[in-house]
């Protein structure tokens, strides 16, 4: 079965510092991988996806993600964090029946 894991429940980073939110995957075949962000009391917003091609994927709000096949990882990154980036981040992978399976989420807190 296709699955993703987010090993950190929470990540704290100072504003202006680079941030990384981790995701590892377990899939058969070529992986499609997604990142979503959720602000409090809101739906999920699509950030970026990896299908094939360049290992560095650029997305919305200055975020990017690095696909690493040997480490089966798809970490979300941003060179300089903002307080407004504080939110819940989900990694996801398509499963059977064309549905998405989500990780448990990582709460990002960016502090001044």
Task: Give me the residues that bind another protein (CB under 8 A), please.
Answer: 9, 32, 34, 36, 41-46, 49, 51, 90, 94, 97-105
Shortest spacing between CB 97 and another protein, in angstroms? 6
Q: How far is CA 35 from CA 1, 8, 74, 111, in A?
A: 19, 15, 9, 22
Shortest spacing between CB 11 and another protein, in angstroms? 15
Measured from the Cβ of residue 91, the count of other Cβ atoms closer than 10 Å reads 27
Shortest spacing between CB 14 and another protein, in angstroms? 25
83 — phi, psi (to 5°)?
-55, -35
Looking at beta carbons only, is 33 or 110 nearer to another protein?
Answer: 33
């Amino acid at each position: 079965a296709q699955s993703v894991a987010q090993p950190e429940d929470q990540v704290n980073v100072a504003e202006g510092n680079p941030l990384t939110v981790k995701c590892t995957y377990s899939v058969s075949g070529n992986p499609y991988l997604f990142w979503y962000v959720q602000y409090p009391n809101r739906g999920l917003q699509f950030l970026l996806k990896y299908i094939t091609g360049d290992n560095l994927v650029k997305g919305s709000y200055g975020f990017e993600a690095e696909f690493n096949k040997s480490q089966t990882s798809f970490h979300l990154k941003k060179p300089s964090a903002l307080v407004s980036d504080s939110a819940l981040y989900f990694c996801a992978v398509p499963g059977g029946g064309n549905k998405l399976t989500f990780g448990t989420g990582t709460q990002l807190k960016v502090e001044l």
